[in-house]
Amino acid sequence: MTSADTVRLTVSQAVVRFLAQQYTERDGVEHRLVEGCFGIFGHGNVAGVGQALLQAEVEDPHRLPYYLARNEQGMVHASAAFARMRHRLSTLACTASIGPGSTNMLTGAALATINRLPVLLLPSDVFATRAASPVLQELEDPRGYDVTVNDAFRPLSRFFDRVWRPEQLPAALLGAMRVLADPAETGAATICLPQDVQAAAHDWPAELFDKRVWHVARPVPEQAALARAVDVIRSAERPIMVAGGGVIYSEATDALRSFAEATGIPVAETQAGKGSLPYDHPLSLGAVGSTGTTAANRMARDADVVIGIGTRYSDFTTASRTAFQHPGVRFVNVNVAAFDATKHAGVSLVADARESLTALAEALSGWSTADAYRERARALAAEWDETVERAYHLGHGPLPAQSEVIGVVNEVSGPRDVVVCAAGSMPGDLHKLWRSRDPKGYHVEYGYSCMGYEIAGGLGVRMASPDRDVFVMVGDGSYLMMAQELVTAVQEGIKIVVVLVQNHGFHSIGDLSETLGSQRFGTRYRYRDADSGRLDGDKLPVDLATNAESLGVRVLRATTVDDFRAKLQAAKASDGGPVVVHVETDPLVNAPGSESWWDVPVSEVADLDSTVQARKTYEAHKADQRLFL
Ligand SMILES: Cc1ncc(C[n+]2csc(CCOP(=O)(O)OP(=O)(O)O)c2C)c(N)n1
Ligand SMILES: [Mg+2]
C-alpha cells in the first residue's frame, strides 16, 4: 500500500536514501554525516544493501558512493581515519556480509570506539524469519536463537541495534546518527541487518527521508565549574597543559595558543593531540609520557597543576601514572565527555575545548606564570630539538637508523601533509621526533595501536583530504598483517605514499622484550635453526617491495639515506595511485630516551637471570606509580 505520505522501499533502499540526507552542522557549517559506503559483498548483503547501493549509484553517483574494500577490518580503519581527519563531523558507512565478513569488522569497531571516532557499521545478520536456518555462517547458539556472531559488536559499539522487523529501522537509524554526531558519545554505531529484512519492502513515512541536520554542540563550561578550575590554576606555580585529540577535533588550536601565550602555561601533547601547537612554538614541549620528550617529561614531573584538554589520559600519556610526581599535583580536566573529565580526581569542566579555553583565558586575564618558568620550558624544548636534530642526522651505517628515515620524511613532506602510523616502534619515535607544523599533519592511531591500520588509515586520510599528501609509515610486521587496501588505492587512483620500513621483525616488541628480560624471544623473522631448534637462523627471504609491486603499486627501492630522500621526493611528485618506498633500517638503533616508563609487568619469579634483573628494575619503577584518588 502506498499513499502520498509513504514511500515503498526495501529496508536497504531506505537505509541508503536516509543516509544520503544526514548532515552535521557546527559553527553554522554543514557537512554530509555519511559521505559514502565501503563494502565487501557476500550472500548476506549482495542482493539487499548491494542492490540498494547499485540503484542509488545508477540514479545519482553522488548519493552514497560505494567503495570496494579488500578486508572488512581495513574498511573500518579507513572510515575511522576519514572521520578523524574531518574532525568527527563526517564519516563513512561499512556494509559487510553475514558471518566472517561482519566479524572481520570487530577490530575496526574497537579501534573506532576507543579512539572516540564515529563509524557506521552495517553487519549483515541471519534470517529474521529463520525460514532456512541454519544459514551458511550462522552461529547457532543452542542457548538462544536470537544470539548471532554480531552480538560480539555490543561491547565494542556505542550504539547497537538489530533490525528484526522493518518497523524498527527508523528508530535504529536515528539512534545511530545521534551517537555518530555527538562528540561525547561517539564511536562505532552498529546496525545489524538480517539478510531477509534487507530485501523486505515497507511503506515508510516520507519524512524519514527529509534532509536532517544534526547540530554538533559546543557545550560551554558551567560558571561554578569554571570558577573552581580558575581557583586551582591561579594557585599554580608550575602548571602545564596536556593537549589531547579533543583540542584538534574541536578546532581549538588557535584558542589553545592564545591561552598559552596569555598565561605562559606550556603545552605537552598526547599522540592524538600532537600538532595542537607547532613544534617550534616557544611554549611547545612536544610529546608527553612514555614516548615523550625530555622537555615535556621534566616539566610534567614537577607540575603542581595539570590541565588536561580533550585527553583520556592513557597509560602512555601518564607514563603509567608516573609522569606527574609533584606530591600535591592537581588536575583540571576539560572534556566533552564527563567520563574523561573526572579522571585523576580532577576538577572537571564538561565542555567543549574551544569554549573552555576561551572562557578560561577571560577568567584568568592578567594572570601568568613567572618569566623564569616560561624560560625553563623554552630552554628544555630547545635542548630536545637539538636531540631531534642529531637523531635526524646520525650518519648511521651501513643501514640507516629509523630516526634518519623519519627525519627525511619530515623534511620531504610539506607543512600541510599528513604522516600516518599506528603500531610498532615508529609511533613512539614519531611522537618524540616528528616536527609537527599543522594540526592535521600528525595522524598516529594510538588508542588501539592496531597493526594493519597504517595503509587502510592512510587511504581514509587521503579520501578525507585529497589536497594533502599522505605519508604512511609502516613496519614489515604491520605490512604483513594488512597491506591489501593498497589494491583499493590502485582501483580508486588514490595517491598515498607508503614508507615501508623493513627490519626483519618486531623492532618494538624485540626491544621491549629485551628490557623486560625476555631476550627478544620470538620477535625476529628468522628461519628455525636446525641445530638450535630455535628461531635464530638466517633472515627469511621475504621481499615486500616485490609483494607491493605485484599488487599493481609503483615501488621505489631505497638503500642509503640520500637515496631514500631522492626516492621519497619522486614519490611525492608522482600523480595518481599509491607509491611504496621501500627502505631497510637497522633494528638495533633506538630513538633518544624519554626519561620515562611504561608499566608492562615482569615475571615475579624466573629461572632466567635476565628476567630476575628486569623484575628488580620493574619494582623500582612501580614504586613511583600514583593512584590520584
Ligand atoms: C593487531 C596487532 N597485533 C599485535 C600487536 C602487538 N605489537 C605491537 S608492535 C608489534 C610489532 C610491529 O612490527 P613492525 O610493524 O615490523 O614494526 P617494528 O616494531 O619493527 O617497528 C606487535 C606485534 C598490535 N599492536 N596489533
Ligand atoms: Mg619491523
Residues in CB range of 299: below 8 A, 6 or more apart: 238, 240, 266, 268, 285, 376, 377, 380
Provide the grid cell at 7: 514511500
Kindly state if the Cβ of 462 falls inside 6 Å of ligand 1: no
- Within 13 Å and on the Cβ side, how many CA atoms surround 31? 21
Of 308, 298, 270, the residue nearest 373 (C-alpha): 298
Number of the ligand 1 atom closest to the C-alpha atom of 422: 25
Residue with cell 598515498: 496
Pocket flag, ligand 1, residue 450 (CB < 6 Å):
yes
Round to whole Å and give the CA distance between 96 and 103.
9
Ligand of minimum distance to the alpha carbon of 509: 1
Q: Is 336 in the pocket of ligand 1 (CB under 6 A)?
A: no
Which stretch of DSSP H or E encloses residue 77? helix 72-85
Q: What are 31's strand-pairing partners?
A: 24
**Predicted TM-score (pTM) of this structure:** 0.98
Element (H, E) at 93: strand 91-96
Mean pLDDT of 596-613: 97
Residue 4 binned pLDDT confidence (cut-offs 50, 70, 90): confident
Query: Residue 224: enclosing H or E segment and its boundaries?
Result: helix 223-234
Instruction: For cell 626519561, name the residue.
Output: 595
Residue with cell 587521503: 462
Q: What's the average model confidence in pLDDT over 19-33?
A: 98
In this predicted structure, the answer to whether residue 2 has a pLDDT above a threshold of 60 is no
* Cβ contact 476:503 at 8 Å: yes
- 437 CA from centroid of ligand 1 (Å): 27
pLDDT-derived band at 120 (thresholds 50, 70, 90) equals very high
CA–centroid distance, residue 428 to ligand 1 (Å): 12
Residues 6+ apart with CB under 8 A from 259: 265, 357, 358, 360, 361
H-run or E-run covering 58 = helix 49-59
Q: Is the pLDDT of residue 1 over 50?
A: no
Give whole-number Cα distances, 213 to 31, 32, 56, in Å. 9, 9, 21
> What is the per-residue DSSP string for 350-376?
ES-HHHHHHHHHHHTTT----HHHHHH
**Would you state the pLDDT for residue 382?**
98
The whole-number pLDDT of residue 3 equals 57
480-537: pLDDT as tens digits = 999 999 999 999 999 999 999 999 999 999 999 999 999 999 999 999 999 999 999 9
Alpha-carbon gap, residue 193 to 253, rounded angstroms: 40
CA 508 to ligand 1: nearest atom: 19
**Which pLDDT score, from 0 to 100, does residue 137 have?**
96
Atom of ligand 1 nearest to the CA of 476: 16
Burial class of 174 by CB neighbour count within 10 A (0 to 12, 13 to 18, 19+): middle
Is residue 500 within 8 A of residue 482, CB to CB? The reply is no
Q: Is the CB of 270 under 6 A from ligand 1?
A: no
Q: Is the CB of 502 under 6 A from ligand 1?
A: no
CA of 470 to the centre of ligand 1 (A): 21
Convert the pLDDT of each residue in 382-418 to its tens digit: 999 999 999 999 999 999 999 999 999 999 999 999 9
